[in-house]
């Protein structure tokens, strides 16, 4: 069955078709959430909220954009909610940054930082990683979403604009601001 038929079946209430749709897209949703929120627990919440909302509002999907664009829009809005709430509460992620390389949560089996035998280089690269994380946290939620969609998901500006329900130009401005902040913070390190 192609995706359009699956969507129509799911809209008619076919839960198996819905399950297939979820499995086709859920890894990318989870990756976006994990990278934006840097917390497996929060990513888990976003995953759940995203697909429950998709399940509830599937009837409203009218095939006027890609299903994945629509899904990303829902997921990124939920992530933005989380990021804004975190900004308001001045709250750091529930799970500490993974830059220590320690496994903190059994679910948090993310990629290990690359081993580097030269201690001085390792210290420098730890410092660099710390700075990158700090800048990411300082970006506005929207800048961060745009920046990560470009760098972690490899999305084109047009696709990012669509996913955020905004223009390519607005996404471009956001990305430019974010990159400039990164450049000025990482200046002497790269």
Minimum CB separation of residue 119 from other proteins in Å reads 19
Residue 42: both structure tokens together: 């929060």
Given a contact cutoff of 8 angstroms between Cβ atoms, the answer to whether 95 and 40 are in contact is yes
Given a contact cutoff of 8 angstroms between Cβ atoms, the answer to whether 47 and 30 are in contact is yes
Minimum CB separation of residue 172 from other proteins in Å reads 7
Pairwise CA distance, residues 114 & 79, whole Å = 28
Strand positions, DSSP E, the chain:
none
Q: Cα–Cα distances in Å, from 126 out to 5, 77, 95, 111, 134?
A: 48, 31, 18, 15, 12
Pairwise CA distance, residues 67 & 81, whole Å = 21
Nearer to other proteins, 40 or 67 (CB): 40
Nearer to other proteins, 6 or 157 (CB): 157
95 touches other proteins by CB under 8 A: no
Q: Which of 4, 5, 48, 134 binds other proteins (CB under 8 A)?
A: 48
Phi, psi (rounded to 5 degrees) for 94: -65, -30
121 touches other proteins by CB under 8 A: no
Pairwise CA distance, residues 22 & 55, whole Å = 10
Minimum CB separation of residue 180 from other proteins in Å reads 8
150-189 positions binding other proteins, by CB under 8 A: 150-152, 156-157, 172, 175-176, 179-180, 182-183, 186, 189
Q: Give the residues lining the site for other proteins (CB under 8 A).
A: 15-16, 19, 22-23, 26-27, 30-31, 34-35, 38, 40, 43-45, 47-49, 51-53, 55-56, 81, 84-85, 88, 98, 106-111, 114, 125, 128-129, 132-133, 136, 150-152, 156-157, 172, 175-176, 179-180, 182-183, 186, 189-190
């Amino acid at each position: 069955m192609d995706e359009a038929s699956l969507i129509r079946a799911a809209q008619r209430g076919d839960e198996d078709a819905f399950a297939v749709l979820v499995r086709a897209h859920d890894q990318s949703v989870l990756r976006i959430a994990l990278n934006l929120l840097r917390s497996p627990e929060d990513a888990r919440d976003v995953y759940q909220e995203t697909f429950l909302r998709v399940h509830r509002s599937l009837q409203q999907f009218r095939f006027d954009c890609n299903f994945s664009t629509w899904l990303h829009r829902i997921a990124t809005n939920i992530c933005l909610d989380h990021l804004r709430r975190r900004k308001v509460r001045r709250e750091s992620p529930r799970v500490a940054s993974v830059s220590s390389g320690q496994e903190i949560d059994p679910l948090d089996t993310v990629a290990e930082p690359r081993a580097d035998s030269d201690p001085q280089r390792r210290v420098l690269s730890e410092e660099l990683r710390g700075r990158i994380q700090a800048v990411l946290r300082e970006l506005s939620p929207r800048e961060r979403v745009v920046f990560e969609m470009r760098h972690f998901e490899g999305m084109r500006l047009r696709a990012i604009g669509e996913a955020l329900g905004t223009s390519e130009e607005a996404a471009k401005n956001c990305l430019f601001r974010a990159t400039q902040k990164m450049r000025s913070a990482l200046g002497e390190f790269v």
